[in-house]
Amino acid sequence: MRWGMVVNLSKCVRCYACIAACRIEHYLPMGVSWPRLMALETNSDRPTVSNYSMRCNHCHDAPCVSVCPTGATYQRDDGIIIIDQNKCVGCRYCVIACPYQNRTFVSKDKDRGFFPGRIQTDFEKAGKQRYPHQAGTTEKCNFCVERIDEGTKKGLVPGQDRDATPACVNTCPARALTFGNLDDPDSEISKLIRENKGFQLHPEYDTDPSIYFIDGPIGSNQEQQPSSQIREESMATGGSN
């Protein structure tokens, strides 16, 4: 069992619904965003823009796990990478080690509230109780692990049943996101990868990400994949925070 996701680049319309869904699901502070969207223009006579929906890749060989000095970052048997905020000491080794810049350090200035200096909204008050975020720790996408665990206890199937599927997948109006079991060759996600030449970002890092991309102008030919440009733009936009 290994949970993963497929992002269909040709379907993504850059509506930010996935980002909004994640913020609502996890009560994210204003300065924190687990998923993010990147626009990448290919080098050609007729440039084409691809929208990359980015989040933690839940790598099979995750550098963030090996560098964590306290064991706060660990990998579950189903492949999901988790951060135990009660063990995180805020050293940010994982932020540096992540080659995809998909981790965020929650500093005090990133959790100043939606309206700094004014009363908290009901949404913020609810978040403090239901999904508290600890300043001085690192956070990232967790594939909505709470939904997965609660759903599977009820016999639901992640990727098929909404109550057991990540919020971003449920919310995407273009159905650009697909979630499922990468170890099952008959699962929808495995078929999409196999039939559409699915590719991972930065395969040269040998991290084996659990997120694949398909059907984009980039990726149809692996030799043309400008992974270095993706990283450069991410750095320019401050991806890792």
- Give the C-alpha separation, 11 to 172, whole Å: 10
- Taking the model in full, what pTM does it have? 0.83
Residue type at 168 in one-letter notation: C
CATH classification of the domain holding 59:
3.30.70.20
In a domain, 241, yes or no: no
How many structural domains does the chain have? 1
> Helix (H, G, I), strand (E, B), or coil: what is residue 152?
helix
Determine the structural domain holding residue 73 and report its residue range: 3-236
- Give the C-alpha separation, 148 to 180, whole Å: 11
Lowest-pLDDT range of 65-79, 103-117, 179-193 = 103-117
Which is more confidently placed, 19 or 118? 19
> Per-residue pLDDT tens for 120-174?
888 888 888 888 888 899 999 999 999 999 999 999 999 999 999 999 999 999 9
In a domain, 80, yes or no: yes
